Amino acid sequence: MDNQKSIHFEISERKILLRFFDVVFVLFGLYCVGFIFHFNYFKFSSTNYYWTIVLALYINAFGAIFEMYNLQVASNHFQVLRSTILTTSSTVIFYLLTPVFSPQLPKNRWQLLVFYIAVFVALYTWRMIYVRFLASNRFVQNAVLICDSEQVQELVQGLESVDPHYKIIGYVNSDYHSKNKFEYQYVKHIKSEDLSLFVAKNGISEIVIASQQTDGITTDLYQQLLHLLESGKSIREYTHVYESKTQRIPVQYISRDFYRFFPFSRSNQNKLYLYFIRIFEVIFSLIGLGIGLILVPFILLCNVFWNKGKLFYTQKRVGKDGLVFKIIKFRTMVKNAEKSGAVFAKLNDSRITTFGKFLRKTRIDEFPQFINILKGDMAVIGPRPERPVFVNEIAKMMPFYETRHIIKPGLTGWAQVNYSYGEKLEDSLIKLQYDLYYIKHRSIYLDLSIAFKTVSTVLFYRGQ
């Protein structure tokens, strides 16, 4: 194997890189167009510096909405083209429609076409450079696991599924009593005494410790880890690596001392943050209800033909501190959908009507929940409220499940924008990991990220 050091960018670093060079390439492209051609619409000037700032903000905002900073999208040629066209079109249109913060519309309309082409070519050129060079295998980070042999497959899949540029190529069995030399695909078993040699030969940059067995960390292995740390190698605990890469809390790998790993976000006790969020929720809910009232005649008419039943329905859900409240939604299922008892809704659930599918995909069915937000039962952003029967069932299997009730449930949330439909208890575990990550890292920045991703969900018709 190649023992040379390879360059590796963490997920957060790659996203910052994409955002930064999106703006740099667009500004450089506009500068070149202005220098070479008679292009007067956008000019760099110290007196009009805010033109540049507004353009940069639009590029980043619409880039987030149209998934320009989703690393899976950013590595796919076709999806990059689609996202670039949508981002460019939205950025240019909004930039032209805000002449208070952008240049006045030119008399020569060809200037606008040149502006659009310059922005698109600059963005697409940079993204092709990223796909060709920065998303390639030359930037793979090789790592080694120290864990029990029976954990290898699960741990490797957990990390590599979210970051394809992160490769675990070997493991040291930390179970002192096990002599199993299990090898999973390309992941080799390493004798503990050979760890330093393996790291040197294979260009390993990180050692990840996921061991639950302390007797497997022998004095010799400990000394090797110490020397590797002194030589500049990164040594991290598995739960920290998992959390930073997946943006989920790995509750399945944490024992009963869970709260030692789970410092709650200061925002949960920050009164200024909570007041600001509440004011935003009230304003947003009033706007949402206004839009909902405009849509009601259309929904009522379609409901008569394709739903054939009551327009609204209510259902008991568990809210903050475990208190039960009634959620309000537009009905999307057939009559007596749960005559045999409560069951999880499925991706292609036969109980959902044709019009109900449209309401769910566009999230219109959730507009009445703005009433719940105004009443204080719910927030705009937070874990989705679950039914009491399912909460009791899931809590028996997952000791940490009710931790999600320390904040208000939300209309949308970190789990909703990052994970597909939850059809079974196993899906609830993954969604719980996302919910706990939000509670732990709750902030204005994370709230904005969820808001942009929610807009993407609606625009790309991915509602559940």
**Per-residue pLDDT for 440 more than 60?**
yes
In a domain, 257, yes or no: no
Cβ atoms of 308 and 355 within 8 Å: the answer is no
For position 237, which CATH number holds? 3.40.50.720
In a domain, 259, yes or no: no
Section 140-166 average pLDDT: 83
* Domain boundary, last residue among 134, 169, 192: 134
Q: Is the domain of 199 the same as that of 95?
A: no
**Per-residue pLDDT for 76 more than 90?**
no
Q: Is the domain of 129 the same as that of 18?
A: yes
**Per-residue pLDDT for 6 more than 80?**
no
Section 380-394 average pLDDT: 92
Q: Give per-residue pLDDT as tens, 244-303.
A: 888 888 877 665 555 555 666 677 778 899 999 999 999 999 999 999 999 999 999 998
**Per-residue pLDDT for 236 more than 80?**
yes
Give the phi and the psi of residue 380 in degrees, each rounded to 5: -70, -40
At 182 the pLDDT is: 67
Place of tokens 């006045």: 104
Q: Is the domain of 300 the same as that of 411?
A: yes
In 3-state terms, what secondary structure has residue 227?
A: helix
In a domain, 260, yes or no: no
Q: Is the domain of 392 the same as that of 272?
A: yes
In percent, how much of the chain has pLDDT > 90?
43
Q: Is the domain of 56 the same as that of 196?
A: no
In a domain, 1, yes or no: no
Least confident residue range of 231-235, 236-240, 250-254, 420-424:
420-424
In a domain, 286, yes or no: yes
Q: Is the domain of 67 the same as that of 45?
A: yes
Res. 18 pLDDT band, cuts 50 70 90: very high
Tell me the residue range of the domain where 24 lies: 11-134
In 3-state terms, what secondary structure has residue 190?
A: strand
Domain tally, the chain: 3
In a domain, 372, yes or no: yes
Q: Is the domain of 225 the same as that of 291?
A: no
At 107 the pLDDT is: 76
Q: Where are the alpha helices (DSSP H) in 37-76?
A: 49-65, 71-74
**Per-residue pLDDT for 464 more than 80?**
no
* Domain boundary, last residue among 88, 104, 134: 134
Half-sphere exposure of 360 (CA within 13 A, CB side): 18
Q: Is the domain of 122 the same as that of 177?
A: no
Sheet hosting strand 141-147, strand order edge to edge: 188-190, 166-173, 141-147, 206-209, 234-237
Q: Is the domain of 270 the same as that of 417?
A: yes
At 3 the pLDDT is: 46
At 102 the pLDDT is: 84
**Per-residue pLDDT for 112 more than 80?**
yes
In a domain, 5, yes or no: no
In a domain, 464, yes or no: no
Tokens encoding 436 = 């706990």
Q: Is the domain of 274 the same as that of 422?
A: yes
Q: Give per-residue pLDDT as tens, 20-56.
A: 999 999 999 999 998 888 788 888 887 888 889 999 9
b/e map of 65-74 (b: 16 or more CB within 10 Å)? bbbbbbbebb
Cβ atoms of 423 and 347 within 8 Å: the answer is yes
For residue 186, give Cα distances in angstroms to 152, 174, 193, 197, 242: 12, 19, 20, 18, 20
Res. 2 pLDDT band, cuts 50 70 90: very low
**Per-residue pLDDT for 410 more than 90?**
yes
* Domain boundary, last residue among 102, 134, 166: 134
Q: Is the domain of 70 the same as that of 157?
A: no
At 134 the pLDDT is: 79
Q: Is the domain of 451 the same as that of 362?
A: yes
Provide CB contacts within 8 A for 322, sequence distance 6+.
402, 405
Q: Give per-residue pLDDT as tens, 172-221.
A: 988 766 666 667 778 899 988 899 999 999 989 899 998 766 666 788 88
Res. 1 pLDDT band, cuts 50 70 90: very low
Q: What is the DSSP letter of 309?
A: S
Q: Give per-residue pLDDT as tens, 319-357.
A: 999 999 999 999 988 877 776 666 767 667 778 888 888
CA pair distance 160, 54, nearest whole angstrom: 37
Q: How far is CA 125 from the centre of its chain?
A: 26
